Amino acid sequence: MIRIVVDDLAFAAVDAVLRPADEHLEPVSPESVQLDRVAGAGFAALRRVQESLDIGAAVVTAGGELTAPFVLHLVIRTEERPTTADAVRRALASAWQRAADWGLARVAAPLVGAGPGQLDPEDAARLLADTWRASGAASLPGASLTLVVQRDAEREALETLLAAEA
């Protein structure tokens, strides 16, 4: 099941939230910055890495003070390589594999890769929905993907888009 809500990702009552990141697991979107703020001071230590990660990697950490107990960090860009649809697709595939491995059936996500100079919201939503439906995570008991957006107009447009493609 995929649903779209207007909410704050940091307070989503799910098993895990997706957090777009760079190769050092630093935030790359306003949603990532908000997650970091709400997760608390100790969250930075939870996401510390020894080496740079490759685009397409996904890492699971505890959620700090977030409502969700886990965070799936998706590496969608590096200093040398910008965010692309392929980078997002690879990172999402990795995240869904991690979710299935960890039994994280209920996942919430921002529009990963959407933003100025990146993917448009419709393409980001399609990538999320398509990769989710094709993943093992979608077949977990009670599986759901919640796309979290900022405005009702976004929610309505994406609901129409995804309903037409289902």
Compute mean pLDDT per 10 residues along the chain, 166 residues long, and list them: 92 96 92 92 88 92 95 92 89 95 95 83 90 89 93 89 76
Q: Count Cβ atoms below 10 Å from residue 81 Cβ, excluding itself.
A: 14
Residue 143: per-residue pLDDT: 93
Judge contact between 123 and 89, C-beta under 8 A.
no
Residue 166: per-residue pLDDT: 64
Global pTM value: 0.92
Residue 149: per-residue pLDDT: 93
Distance of CA 35 to the CA centre of its chain: 11
Residue 58: which of 81, 89, 34 has the closest Cα? Answer: 89
Residue 50: per-residue pLDDT: 85
Residue 161: per-residue pLDDT: 81
Tokens representing 147 are 């796309």
Residue 116: per-residue pLDDT: 65
d(CA 88, CA 58) in angstroms, rounded, equals 11
User: Mind listing the domains of the chain with CATH numbers?
Assistant: 2-165 (3.40.220.10)
